[in-house]
Structure 1
Amino acid sequence: MSNRIFIIGGGGQIGRAVALKFLTLGWNVISSGRKVPSEPINNDRIRYVTVDRHDTQRMREAISPGVDLLLDCLSFDESDSNQLVELQDLVGRICVISSASVYMDDQGRTLDEASDFGFPDFGGPLNIDHRIVEPGPATYSTRKVAMELRLLSGAAEKSTILRPCAIYGPHSKHAREWFFVKRLLDGRKQIPLAYEGKTRFHTTSVKHIAQAVAAAIESATPSTMNVVDPQAPTTREIGEAIMSAAGVYAEIIGLPVVDEYPPSVGANPWGLKRDMICVVSNAYSPIGEYGDLIKPTIDWLMSDLDLVDWKSELPVLAAYPFSLFDYEKEDELLRNL
């Protein structure tokens, strides 16, 4: 009998990438969510089940009689880990998606609260033993840490925690690449980037997450892994890679460094005030750099996304606390330059 993987949140960008990876490995895939994806993967080794992940009894029925690997793409807090611990008797290995946002600098500053308390200065690449925030209900990151600690206390021997950074891939609700793609589709000739376009926010391909999930099958896998691309591109390099994949080009204008965060012009989804770079785990095999892996995302954005109604299709990106497309303010600044 083939091995089986159960994916919580299988319709999202991570779940789809992992499902495709495990199909190539010959596994049977059970993809779960509140509803069947609007564009399901057409393969007879994928079974779609509709289930609310907070309904533990229904989850138990969906997983029974058991699976070799459970991937949780939707584990956000301690209560989610409590459920995974309760279900562990049906699972060979458990893998959960956390976030590199759990790291903080020596002054306790985090990426979550940079606009309120100042941007963190990590002092260099972040290893998995770097200082993390205290667990609790206050922020996205503190909830993620609470989730991590509960899982490791209740199911450490069979659990792997993955900490990606700026995730990219088709079918995302937070497609950062839309910052450049929309400008290209709108015919913008110049694109201003804050902090000279030189800072680095480490990128993570969903294909690398899939590689790491596959590595989690092995019992010798570390309990916690950073999952990022082999190199961290600058914001300018990200823009250049996107334009190359799109076959449409504009001039990138690096704006002078300013003290404010976020800046009034040139703010973008990667434009950090200081670098955030993670040390790559050696437990999985990277398969390419950002420029090698970004094209499927750009093709998806350019062919499937509604240019007018993008906010409903990319709700996480639309919820940013600053305007991503204030062309009037950009044009005024560019004229003055």
Structure 2
Amino acid sequence: MVIGATGQIGHPVVGALARDGWEVTAASRGGGREETWPDGVRTVRLDREDDAALAAVVGDGCDLVVDVVAHGARHARQLTSLAGRVGSAVVISSVSVYEDGEGRGFDTQGEPGGFPEYPVPIPETQATVAPGESTYSTRKAALEQELLAAGDRLPATLLRAGAVYGPRCRTPRELYFVKRNLDGRGRRVLAYGGRSRFHPVSVHTLAELVRLAAARPGSRVLNACDDAAPTVAEIAAAIDAVMGVQPETVLVDGPPPAPSVGDTPWSVPAPVVCDTSAARRELGHAPVAGYAEGLPETVEWIERRLAGRDWREAYPDMVRAYGDLFDYAAEDAWLGTR
């Protein structure tokens, strides 16, 4: 059973498992079916917060539960309560659980000097934030803690995902460059010299990791990222190549020179790059595609969603997460001072 089956991650996960021979039940709030799924995929409506409904879908039991939307201790306990009827689980977590040697993490990055300085690359043994219910990161840490503690009853693989990209994303970082190119912006600004690295992961890489973990049940955490972590300048160039444009890039050494200028969703003062060797070692994982190879379908999806719509209507979650990403007046004002 895949919980969150019709979302950005769930959609390719269902397809990968079904093509691998699993009898898949795709559970989602709407209970919809995707036309790209193989025949035989069963669909059900499921409210993730309804304990009784989840137990009813599991029924007498299933070999595997894949949960792509779980967060917090309560969701973990939901899963462990089914231990007697579920063979194993694969659950999506996040690299945001990590903290550095000074106790800084994603939750402190907005504070002065609060951005974490992680080792490069970050191993799964790196310290994590204290579990709790106050933030996304602490809830993911609580999810991990509860599931790992119940590993003798329910083997669970926790996949710590990086910056997820692919179709169906509600907060696609690629929007930053795609919309600028569609708007004919001839110049763009990149802070930190365009060298920022925030390790991405394709939805297809995640689906492949789920498929491999499903065949090798265990209680563990694994970084789930692409094989390489491109710089933000390399990401911009790759998107340009897909869209057939060549705008000028203005590089700024250091932080954004003015509010909203050069501050992309990948722009970080220190690298966030994960060690992926454990997944290769434990699951036999090999890269399914690089960042550039996964971009065309992502760009196409964003272009279709933007067609004839205000970007804030098309991507309201992006507004809530990042604010105004397209303050062209501020950019032009700063560029005019150079």
- When normalised by structure 1's length, the TM-score is 0.92
Q: Which residue of 2 aligns with 1:303?
A: 304
Shift of 1:137: 1.5
Q: Conserved in 1, the CA contact under 8 Å of 2:70 and 2:143?
A: yes
1:324 is displaced (CA, Å) by 0.7
1:176 paired to 2:177: no
Q: 1:155 to 1:315 in 2, by over 3 A?
A: farther
| 1:10 counterpart residue number | 5
Q: What SS does the aligned partner of 2:11 have?
A: helix
Question: Structure 2 counterpart of 1:122, which letter?
Answer: Y
Aligned to 2:60: 65
Take 1:58 and 1:309, find their aligned partners in 2: how far apart are those partners? Answer: 37
- Secondary structure of the structure 1 residue equivalent to 2:159: strand
- Give the superposition deviation at 1:10: 0.8
Q: Distance in 2 between matches of 1:163 and 1:169?
A: 17
Q: Cα distance 1:335–1:243, how it changes in 2: closer, same or farther (>3 A)?
A: same
Query: Structure 2 CA distance, aligned partners of 1:176 and 1:209?
Result: 17
Shift of 1:265: 1.2
Which deviates more from structure 2 when the two are superposed, residues 26-35 or residues 137-146? 26-35
TM-score under structure 2 normalisation? 0.92
Question: Partner amino acid for 2:293?
Answer: D
Q: Structure 1's 289 and 80: CA in aligned 2 closer, same or farther, altered over 3 A? A: same
Q: Residue type of the partner of 1:15?
A: G
Q: Out of 273, 278, 295, which is 1:277 matched to?
A: 273
The alpha-carbon deviation at position 78 of structure 1 amounts to 0.2
Using the TM superposition, give the Cα deviation of residue 63 of structure 1 relative to its aligned residue in structure 2, in angstroms. Answer: 2.0
Call closer, same or farther: CA 1:48–1:311 in 2, change over 3 Å: farther
Contact 2:226 2:287 in 1 (8 A): yes
Q: Tell me by how many angstroms 1:313 deviates.
A: 3.5
Distance 1:307 1:77 in 2: 38
What CA distance in whole angstroms lies between the structure 1 residues aligned with 2:19 and 2:246?
35
The 1:119–1:67 alpha-carbon spacing in structure 2 relative to 1, beyond 3 Å, is same
| Counterparts of 1:310 and 1:116, CA distance in 2 | 28
Separation of aligned partners in 2, 1:13 and 1:162 = 15
Aligned mates of 2:261, 2:179 — CA distance in 1: 17
2:230 is equivalent to residue 229 of structure 1? no
Matched, 1:216 2:213: yes
Is it true that 1:240 corresponds to 2:237 in the alignment? Answer: yes
Which residue of structure 2 lines up, in the alignment, with residue 288 of structure 1? 289
1:31 and 1:47 in contact (8 A); partners too: yes
Q: Give aligned-pair identity as a percent.
A: 36
Q: What is the root-mean-square deviation in Å for CA atoms of aligned residues? A: 2.0
CA displacement at 1:314 relative to structure 2 = 2.5
Deviation at residue 286 of structure 1 after TM alignment: 1.3
CA distance in 2, matches of 1:177, 1:10: 23
Counterpart code for 2:290: E
- Distance in 1 separating the partners of 2:99 and 2:37: 42
Q: Which amino acid aligns with 1:131?
A: A
CA distance in 2, matches of 1:321, 1:72: 26
For residues 32 and 238 of structure 2, the distance between their equivalents in structure 1, rounded to whole angstroms, comes to 29
Alpha-carbon spacing, 1:163–1:237, altered in 2? closer, same or farther (3 Å): same
1:1-337 alignment, distance < 5 Å: 6-37=1-32, 41=36, 43-117=38-112, 118-156=114-152, 158-219=155-216, 223-258=220-255, 264-280=260-276, 281-282=279-280, 283=283, 284-306=285-307, 308-337=309-338
Is contact 2:70-2:91 (8 Å) kept? yes
Superposed displacement of residue 321, structure 1: 4.4
Q: CA deviation at 1:263?
A: 5.4
- Asked if the contact 2:100–2:116 (Cα under 8 Å) also holds between the matched residues in 1, the reply is yes
Q: Using the alignment, how far apart are the partners of 1:222 and 1:89 within structure 2?
A: 16
- Counterpart of 1:35, as a letter, is G
Distance in 2 of aligned mates of 1:191 and 1:259: 12
Q: Alpha carbons of 1:313 and 1:46: their partners in 2 closer, same or farther (altered >3 Å)?
A: farther
1:42–1:258 CA distance, 2 compared to 1 (3 A): closer
Deviation at 1:29, TM superposition (A): 2.1
Change in 2 beyond 3 A, CA 1:295/1:92: same
Deviations 1:53-105 (Å, cap 9, x if unpaired)?
12121112212233222111111100000000012222222011100000011
Mapped to 2, the partners of 1:33 and 1:241 lie a distance apart of: 33
Q: Structure 1 residue 236: deviation in Å? A: 0.5
CA distance in 1, matches of 2:116, 2:34: 39
Stretch moving more, 239-248 or 97-106: 239-248
Residue 258 and residue 313 in structure 1: after superposition, are their counterparts in 2 closer, same or farther (change >3 A)? closer
Q: Are the counterparts in 2 of residues 30 and 48 from structure 1 also a CA contact under 8 Å?
A: yes
Summarize the Cα distance change of 1:310–1:90 in structure 2 as closer, same or farther, 3 Å threshold.
farther
Summarize the Cα distance change of 1:223–1:42 in structure 2 as closer, same or farther, 3 Å threshold.
closer
Unaligned runs of 5+ in 1: 1-5
User: Secondary structure in 1 aligned to 2:150?
Assistant: helix
Contact 1:88 1:155 in 2 (8 A): no
SS at match of 1:298: helix
